[in-house]
Each structure stands twice: as C-alpha cells, then as structure tokens.
Amino acid sequence: MKVQKWFHVSAIVAALLLTGACKKEVSRTTGWEYNNSKNGGFEVKGFQDQGTGPGLIFIEGGTFTMGQTQDDVLFEWNNQPKRVTVTSFYMDQTETRNLDYLEYLYWLSRVYGADYPGVYRKALPDTLVWRDKLAYNEPLVEYYFRHPAYRNYPVVGVTWLQANDYCAWRTDRVNEMLLIRKGILAMDPAQKNENNFNTEAYLAGQYEGLVDKPMPDLNPNGTGTRKVKMEDGIMLPKYRLPTEAEWEYAALGLIGNTVYERVVEHKNYPWNGTYVRTNQSRYYGTFMDNFKRGKGDYMGVAGNLNDGADIPAACGSYFPNDYGLYNMAGNVSEWVADVYRPLSFNDMSDIRPYRGNVFTTPVRDAEGFLAEKDSLGHLKYRDITTAEAKNRKNYRQADNINYLDGDYQSNISGEYWKEARDTSGTNMMYQYGVSSLISDKARVYKGGSWKDPAYYMSPGMRRYLDESDASDAIGFRCAMTRVGGAIPGK
C-alpha cells in the first residue's frame, strides 16, 4: 500500500509539472525558490541535453577490447589486447577537409594578419610533404591544398601541434555562433588581434563583444544584466583531438555487431569480416576504403580501378562504419591526442585511457585575480607546481607523461634510478637519440592511409611521429566530450 500511495503522489506531481501548475522550482536543500531576485536571485537554468556540434556524430560509449586483432607481423608488441571502457563522446563524420582548414587560415589572416603575421604562417600546412626525390609530385605541392578541385579532400601536411590549434579555434567559432543565434551577441566581423571571441576569455569576463541582448541578472546586487555563464548550458565543450582509445573504439564500430552485450562477429577492420572488399550484391567486389593494394598498385588497372584513388580521395568516399563515420581505415592516417609509449596498454587506466596529461592552471596576479589575456586574446596558463599538488592523492606533479613508463620509478636499474632522482627526476628511459627513438613529443597516429598496405587499416594498429612533423599521409578529425548521461535524452 505504501508503494502504491507513493506512486499515486508521484503521478500527481508529474501531472502538475506537465500542466504547468508547478511553475516555481524550489531548492530541496534550503526551501528557497530558484530564479527569484527577491530572495537573492540564485539561477537554475533548464537543460534538456547536449546539442551535437557542427560536423559531429554521436558515439555511444561502452566496453571493448583495445589492441591488436591480427597477427603482429612486425613483432612490435605495442598493442597487446586490453579490456577498457570508453565513455560516450562525439567525433567528426569525416576527416578535416582542405576547405575547413582554408576557412581557419582566412580567419587567422583577417584577425591577426596585419599585426601578427607569424600566427598565420605558423598555421600553414607543409605542402612540401608531397615532394619525392624520384617522383614528379610538384603538381600536388602547388595544387592539392588550394585548388577547388581538392577542396573536399582531407588536409595533410599538418602537424599534431597545428591540429590542436585548429581544434581550439573551432571551439571558439562554434560557441560564438551559438551566442549570436541566441541573440546575446551581434555579428562582429571587425574583430582584430586580442579583441576576438575566445570562449575562456569570455567566460572569465575578459571579452565583451558586440552585445545584442544580454542575459538578465537576477542578483539584486548586480547591474541587471550579465554575460552567459557555464551554468547556462548554452555553449558546447571543447573540440579536441580524440584519444587513442576513443579513435580506436569509434573506428571498430562494434555497435553494429552487438546483441545483448555480446559481440557476435570478429572485426579486423571497421567493417565485418576480414576482407577489404564488400560482399553486398549491388557493390560486390568494391574496395571498402582507399589503400595501397600492393607494390606500385595505388588504384588498380584502367577500366577497372580497385579503390579509384591514387592519392587521398574526397572525404566521405567509400562506405561508412556502423557509427556513420567515413574513412576510419584508409585514405589518410589521423593524429590522436596520446603520447606514444610501447607499453601504454599495460599501464593505462581501464576507463577513458589516455597518456599525455600535463596539468595546468590559469595564471593569476599577486591578488589572486586572473592575469590579463595575451596579445592574441587567450588566457594564460602554467603548469601546476609540486607544492600545489603535495597534498593530492590522485596526482603529485604537473607532467604525468612518463608516469609508470619513463620516470625513475618505472626503471629497474637502481643506479639509473639514483641518477634520475639526483638530476631531472624523470625521462631517463626515453631520451631521444640516447636511450630511445621515442620522446615525450612522440604522438600516436592511427589508421591506414592511401599509401599503406591493408595491414595498417586495422584500428588496433598504432604508429607514432614527432608532434612537430607532418606527412602527406596524415590528417586529423576532431572529437568532443559528452557531458551528462551516456545516452541522449536520458
């Protein structure tokens, strides 16, 4: 009877909420009414669900076995299988296109070009990656990035550092447009130098912009209007590079192979089975992505081309995987966020695994206020100090790249450990050119490319390149964290 009575009362409350009879929300903690300027004006904004940012696809998270799914013919032993969980997130449907990157460069030139031309030059992709000492590739050097024939092709020649800068820029442009569409800001094409919309600077009160209709401020001690806050839920989280685990999970697309938590079919690639051609009757024998079939064979024989692309194909070519993502196997390899370590799969956490954390904090003045933004309009950050982390249980320093794999605690040599402790304290195992060909700047890239054999199209394969290097076979796509529940609407 008590259960039935409770259900009856709950049903009445729900009905009142639906009919609008209960218009005022009251704190369950204090009994004070929310959104009432007469009692202090504490605001609680309604929030339905995170919106999907431009270009993104929702990736429902879950558990999967990360690592190799085929024989390790190179005997690298750097991707031993491990069960991990990836939480839900968003990822670009395709690689970043030349057109997307040209839009980015145009904005940099318009805003910074007159006074800070170095910002534009720093972002330029390296078109000389196409050069080959024994091949005629000058047309690609000259045309691939800027000619409209290639506008929908994946951008290449971009370093890991440049890809991260692009993600940061994209975050700001998307959030600026969200505020414009809400009527809070007006369009301002005259932004210049430090006077440009930056999400963090805006939230910190260091950017004003052309205000159209500011948010009403219910604080009785305020000015009557205010800027948007994080608590309003209007702006989206940051665009960023996906972690290696996120990229691999999204590429496999096991959501199409799962029945009641059972993965019912093995995958070497982002599609079912172990073959690189489709068995669909309408497209029978068609290649599933763009790769190098064999020595000297990049696209097949005239009249019957196998993948139809000698270099990268246009983004969105070939078949999507079960998440709706294109070219997660071939076309171009893609940068991910992680620092490369051969034994990462042994060391990393089993939920949201990632190696590369360097914890930072905003720079503040002597009185504790945020320092003024820099000449480009960005907030300033610094690494946390060991003194600031001394009482932490979950971390003790800013730079955790070498944690358990590269710091002196992970070295089996006592003398080496003592030497490391007496000097820098870390990075004895990974001194580039001394003890290793790997450094803290070695970044993982995933997936095969137009110039790779099928072996590299397995999502579990991993390679690395210095974060300041570029290639004619490496591009990138962006990801975004999902806030709130793992399933939309719940």
Task: Dig out the tokens for 47 from the structure.
Answer: 């929030």
Q: Residue 255 and residue 266: Cα distance in Å, rounded?
A: 12
Q: What is the CATH number of the domain that holds 317?
A: 3.90.1580.10
- pLDDT of 257: 85
Least confident of 21-35, 337-351, 400-414, 457-471: 400-414
| 3-class DSSP assignment, residue 53 | coil
Least confident of 17-26, 137-146, 327-336: 17-26
Whether pLDDT at 5 is above 90: no
Whether pLDDT at 316 is above 90: yes
> Is 362 within the bounds of a domain?
no
**Which one is predicted more confidently, 126 or 20?**
126
> Is 220 within the bounds of a domain?
yes
Whether pLDDT at 393 is above 80: yes
- pLDDT of 415: 52
- Amino acid letter at 408? Y
Least confident of 170-174, 289-293, 405-409, 451-455: 405-409
The whole-number average pLDDT for the span 354-379 is 96
- pLDDT of 428: 66
- Pairing type for strands 381-383 and 82-86 reads unpaired
- pLDDT of 300: 83
How would residue 336 be classed by pLDDT, with cut points 50, 70 and 90? very high
What would the pLDDT profile of 155-182 be if each residue is shown by its tens digit? Answer: 999 999 999 999 999 999 999 999 999 9
- pLDDT of 267: 83
Q: Residue 284 and residue 478: Cα distance in Å, rounded?
A: 32
Handedness of CA 137, 142, 146, 147 (dihedral sign): negative
- Amino acid letter at 416? Y
How would residue 78 be classed by pLDDT, with cut points 50, 70 and 90? confident
Q: Residue 228 and residue 200: Cα distance in Å, rounded?
A: 12
Task: Dig out the tokens for 342 from the structure.
Answer: 């051969």
What is the 8-class DSSP label of residue 114? T
% of residues, the chain, pLDDT over 90: 69
> Is 2 within the bounds of a domain?
no
For the chain, the domain total comes to 1
- pLDDT of 8: 46
Distance of CA 317 to the CA centre of its chain: 22
> Is 415 within the bounds of a domain?
no
What is the span of the domain harbouring residue 266?
48-352+440-490
Whether pLDDT at 9 is above 70: no
How would residue 13 be classed by pLDDT, with cut points 50, 70 and 90? very low
- pLDDT of 186: 97
What would the pLDDT profile of 197-213 be if each residue is shown by its tens digit? Answer: 999 999 999 999 999 99
> Is 404 within the bounds of a domain?
no
**Which one is predicted more confidently, 70 or 221?**
221
**Which one is predicted more confidently, 283 or 126?**
126
Whether pLDDT at 23 is above 80: no
- pLDDT of 281: 54
How would residue 463 be classed by pLDDT, with cut points 50, 70 and 90? very high
How would residue 280 be classed by pLDDT, with cut points 50, 70 and 90? low
The whole-number average pLDDT for the span 79-92 is 94
Q: Are 316 and 99 in contact (CB under 8 A)?
A: no
Q: Residue 358 and residue 403: Cα distance in Å, rounded?
A: 11
What is the 8-class DSSP label of residue 26? B
> Is 276 within the bounds of a domain?
yes
Give the DSSP H/E element, type plus range, for residue 15.
helix 2-19
Q: Is 429 exposed, middle or buried (0-12, 13-18, 19+ CB in 10 A)?
A: buried
Task: Dig out the tokens for 237 from the structure.
Answer: 């989280």
Mean pLDDT of the chain: 88
> Is 380 within the bounds of a domain?
no
**Which one is predicted more confidently, 11 or 455?**
455
Nearest alpha carbon to residue 58 among 67, 49, 69: 49
- pLDDT of 437: 84
The whole-number average pLDDT for the span 113-128 is 98
Sheet containing 333-339, strands listed edge to edge, beginning at the edge strand earlier in sequence: 462-466, 442-446, 333-339, 474-475
Backbone angles phi, psi at 273, to 5 degrees: 80, -170
> Is 361 within the bounds of a domain?
no
